[in-house]
Structure 1
Amino acid sequence: MSVYWPEILFAAFCAMAAIQVFYYLYFFTRLAFYKKPKAESSMQHAVSVVVCARDEAQNLADNLPEVLQQEYRSTFEVIAVNDNSFDDSKYVLEYLSKPFRNLRPIELKQEARLINGKKFPLSIGIKEAKYELLLLTDADCKPASGKWIELMQGAFSNGKEIALGYGAYYKKPGFLNKLIRFETFLSALQYFSYALAGMPYMGVGRNLAYKKELFFRNKGFSSHNQLPGGDDDLFINQVATKKNTAVVLDEEAFTLSEPKTRWSTWRSQKARHYTTSNHYKGIHKFLLGLFAFSHFLFYPLLAASIIFFNWWMALAVFGFRFLLQGFIYYKAMNKLNEKDLFWLYPLLDIWQWFYYLLFANSLFKKPKANWK
C-alpha cells in the first residue's frame, strides 16, 4: 500500500488552518466585537491601589503622582510597599506623602523566608489595605488617564470580584518596540477573549483589580508561594470563574509602561513570565498549547504543501485564514489602541514562529527566585 505523503502534508496543513480558524471565530471575535455592557448602577466603591517597588525611585517619582491625582470622586488610598530597596525609594515616598495624604508608604526591611518574588510585599500591601476593592499596578506603570480608578472599579457589579485591565506599552521607534507591543497584544487578545468566553485564565499585574475578600477566601498566594512569579496570572487562574470576572477595555482605563530597549533584557523578562504557565489549569494549558502548536506548524506545512502538493490549493487555504486573521486583528487592535501594528501583522505573524522557538525552553526552566 503506497503512502501519499503530499496528500498527508496538505491534510495536516488544512487541519492546522482549521484549528486556527476555530480559535479566531470562537474566541477572538469576542474581543474584536466586544461592546461594553450598560452599567446597572453608578455606585462608586472605596478603592485601595497597591503598588510594590524594589529599587524603583525614579519610576515612583515619575508615575506615582499620576496615580495619586486620579479624578475619582469617591475615597481611594494608594499603598506603596517599598520592598528592601537600596536606592532612594524611601525618600521619594516620604516626599510624596507630604502633599498627598492618601499615600501610605510601607517599608519592608527584611526578606520573607520561603516566599519568593513579589508575593510577600504584595500580600502585605493587601493586608494593610483599608478598602475591599483592590486595584493593582506596578511602579513602572502610569495610568492612561485620570479616570483609571473610576473605570476599573466600575466593573464591580452583578457579583463581579475580578476586573481584568490592559497593560500597554508606550509606542517608541524601532522594531523591538513593535515586537514587544505585538506580543502584548496577542497575550491580551487571548486572555480577554477567553474571559469573555467564560474561561478566564490570567490577568496582568500592571492593571488588575479584585476584592480583598476573594484574596483571603482563597488563602492568598499560598498554593504557589514557592514560585517567584504568578502573583497575577496564577492567582487569577486559581480563582477566576465565568461569573466573577469582568473585562475593562476603555482606552482611558489602560496603564502604560516603558518597554525594554534591549533584546537581552526583554528576552529575560519574557522567559521569567513563561515559567509560570506550566502551573495553569489543565484545560487552559491544553487550549493555549493547541493554539501555539497549530500556529507553529502552520507555516512549515504551508511551504511543504506548496512545494509537494498543489500550490494554488495551499494558497487558497492560507488566503482564507489570512483574511479572517486580518479582519479580527484590525478590530481587536482598534479596541486596544494598537492599530499602528496592523500593517505589520503579516510579518509579525511569521515572527511568532521564531518566537515559539526562542521561548520554548522557558516552559521547562526552573524560575529564578528574584522578582526584579
Structure 2
Amino acid sequence: MTLLFCIITALYVMLIATFAIGFDKIKVFTTVKTPEKTRFSIIIAFRNEAEHLPNLLNSLTELHYPKDLFEIIFVDDDSDDGSAELIYNYLKNQPELQFVILQNERLSHSPKKDAITKAVGEANNAWIVTTDADCTVPNTWLRSLDSYIQTNACSVIAAPVSYSDQSSFLKRFQALDFLSLIGATIGGFGIKKPFMCNGANFIYKKDIFLKLKGFTGNESIASGDDIFLLEKALLDNPEQVHYLKSKTAIVSTHPQPNLKQLLEQRKRWAAKTSRYSSVFGKGVGLIVLTMNLALVLAIPFVITNVISTVIWTIIVFLKTSIDAILLYKTCRFYNSSFSIPFYLFSSMLYPVFTVIVAFSSVITNYQWKGRVFRQ
C-alpha cells in the first residue's frame, strides 16, 4: 500500500511540475500598437441574468475599440426575469453599438451549444468571441485580441478568466481552486498538450467553427461548448491553437454564492471529463483525482498503521509544495496575493471537496440555471 501511494504521489508531482515548467514557456503578451482591423462578433448566451447583466453591459460599452469593428449577439435561452428587456433598454441608447438579441432554438441536450450555434450562423464578422452574461470585460479586451491576431498565425485562442469577488472564505476558496485550473491550462499549452480552456474568454474564426461542424458529435453533453471545440481544433491543426497570456485580456466572472451552487457548478464541469477525446486530458483528470482520493484514504490507513506517519507527512508535503509553486506562478501573473496560511488551510479541505465532486458527478444529476441535466 505504501508503494502504491508513493507511485501516485510521484506521478502527480511530475505532472504538476511539468505544468509549472510549461506555464513559464508561455510568455506574457504585450499589446503592439498597430491600427485595429480585426472584426469580431461577440456572442453571449444568457438565461435569467438580470442581476449580472448591467455590469457586463457597462463594460461592453466602455471597450476601447472601434464600434464599427465589432457586433454583440445576445441569445436569450428562455429567460423569465426580464433579461432581454434589460439588454434592449440599456443598449438602445448606444446607437453606435451594433447588437442583436436572438431567441434560442433548442435542438440538442445542450442549450448553450444551441445558442452559440445559432449566433455563429447570424454572425457577420470573421472572428467569434464568446463570454458569459455574468462576466465583465476589460476595456482593453478586443484591442489585446486584435493585436495578438495581427502578430500571430492562429485560428483558435484561449484566454484568461479570473474571479472578481473574494469577499468570503468560500469565494476565496473558489478563487484558489480556479487559479489552479488556470495554471494547469496555461501549463498544458506551454508543453504543447492543451486540454482545457474557458468559454468565458474563447476566440475562434467563424470559418473554423463551420469547418469543424461546430458541436456536432457532442450535442448530447450539456456542457463543454469550449473544451470539445478546442479538442476538435487541436485534431484539425494544433499549430493554429494558441493561449493568449495577456493581463489586458483577462475577463472577470463571479464565484458561486453558496456551497450548494458551487457543488452543482463543479459537478457540471466534472461530468464532461469522461467524454474527453484527449487521452492526455483524461490522464490528467485521473491522476489528480487519484492523488486527492489517496490523501482522503490515507487518513484511516495512518490511524491503523498501514501507512507510517512519516510517509504520509512526506506525501502531503510534496503535494502541497508542488501545488504551491504552480499557484504562486499563476497568482503572480494575475497580480493576486498568495496567502500561505489560507493556502495551507484550503489544501486540507481540497482533497475532500474534489472527491465529493467527482463521485457525485457520476452518480447524481446536476442542476444549472433552473434545469436538471442527466449524465
Q: 2:179 corresponds to which residue?
A: 185
Deviations 1:270-322 (A, max 9, x none): 21222212210151212321232124314644885795566556545654554
Cα offset, 1:206, TM superposition: 1.2
Alpha carbons 1:82, 1:90 under 8 Å: kept:
yes
Residue 136 of structure 1 deviates from its aligned partner by 0.8
CA contact (8 A) 2:73 2:102 kept: no
CA contact (8 A) 2:45 2:133 kept: yes
Name the counterpart of 2:348.
Answer: 350
How much has 1:149 moved relative to structure 2?
1.3
Q: By how many angstroms is 1:359 displaced?
A: 0.9
* Structure 1 stretch displaced more, 314-323 or 278-287: 314-323
Residues 313 and 230 of structure 1, relative CA distance in 2, 3 Å threshold: closer
Cα offset for 1:39?
Answer: 7.6
Output the CA distance in 1 between the equivalents of 2:255 and 2:182: 16
State the Cα deviation string for residues 244-270 of structure 1 (Å, max 9, x = none): 222123232111122222111221122
Letter of the 1:245 counterpart: V
CA deviation after TM superposition for structure 1 residue 61, in Å: 2.4
Kindly indicate whether the alpha-carbon contact (under 8 Å) linking 2:247 and 2:334 is maintained by their aligned counterparts in 1.
yes
Deviation at 1:329, TM superposition (A): 2.3
Q: 1:30: how far off?
A: 1.8
- Alpha-carbon displacement from aligned partner over 1:29-84 (angstroms, at most 9, x marks no partner): 22256423678994741111111112223322231121132012471221222233
Q: Please list, as runs of the form range in 1=range in 2, the aligned pairs for 1:61-76 lying within 5 A after superposition.
A: 61-73=54-66, 75-76=69-70
2:373 equivalent in structure 1: none
For the residue of structure 2 that corresponds to 1:293, the secondary structure is: helix
Query: How far apart, CA to CA, are the structure 2 residues paired with 1:158 and 1:176?
Result: 39
Structure 1 residues 79 and 22, CA gap change in structure 2 (3 angstroms): same
Q: Secondary structure at the match of 1:261?
A: coil
Q: d(CA) in 2 for partners of 1:43 and 1:154?
A: 9
CA distance in 1, matches of 2:287, 2:311: 24
Root-mean-square deviation (CA, aligned residues, Å) is 2.9
Distance 2:314 2:170 in 1: 32
Query: How far apart are the structure 2 equivalents of 1:147 and 1:122?
Result: 24
Measure the CA separation in 2 of the matches of 1:315 and 1:264: 32
CA distance in 2, matches of 1:276, 1:17: 25
Distance in 1 of aligned mates of 2:332 and 2:132: 25
Partner of 1:276: 272
Q: Residue type of the partner of 1:150?
A: R
Match of 2:93 in 1: 98
Superposition deviation, residue 180 in structure 1: 1.2
Aligned to 2:290: 293
Please give the residue correspondences for 1:253-268 in structure 2 after superposition, counting only pairs within 5 Å.
Answer: 253-268=249-264
Displacement of 1:129 in angstroms is: 1.3
Q: Which amino acid aligns with 1:207?
A: N
| Correspondence 1:171 to 2:165 | yes
Partner of 1:17: 9
Query: Measured at CA, do residues 54 and 308 of structure 1 come closer, stay the same or move farther in structure 2, by a change above 3 Å?
Result: closer
In 1: Cα distance, 2:313 partner to 2:260 partner:
36
Report the secondary structure of 2:102's partner residue.
strand
> Normalised by the size of structure 2, how large is the TM-score?
0.85
SS in 2 for 1:72: coil
Greater shift, 163-172 or 302-311, is seen at 302-311
Which shifted more, 131-140 or 355-364? Answer: 355-364
Task: Measure the CA separation in 2 of the matches of 1:325 and 1:90.
Answer: 42
Give 1:331's aligned residue.
329
Letter in 2 for 1:161: S
Letter in 2 for 1:234: F
Question: 1:1-372 maps to which residues of 2 (within 5 A)?
Answer: 8-9=1-2, 11-32=3-24, 34-36=26-28, 42=34, 44=36, 45-73=38-66, 75-95=69-89, 96-108=91-103, 111-143=105-137, 145-156=138-149, 157-240=151-234, 242-283=238-279, 284-298=281-295, 300-301=297-298, 304=301, 307=305, 311-312=309-310, 315-316=313-314, 318-365=316-363
CA distance in 2, matches of 1:236, 1:250: 19
- Could you tell me which runs of 5 or more consecutive residues in structure 1 were left unpaired when the two chains were aligned: 1-7
SS at 1:107's partner residue? strand
More deviation in 173-182 or 359-368?
359-368
Give the TM-score, by structure 1 length.
0.86
Q: Tell me, what secondary structure is at the counterpart of 1:142?
A: coil
Tell me, yes or no, if the aligned pair for 1:195 and 1:247 is still in contact at 8 Å.
yes
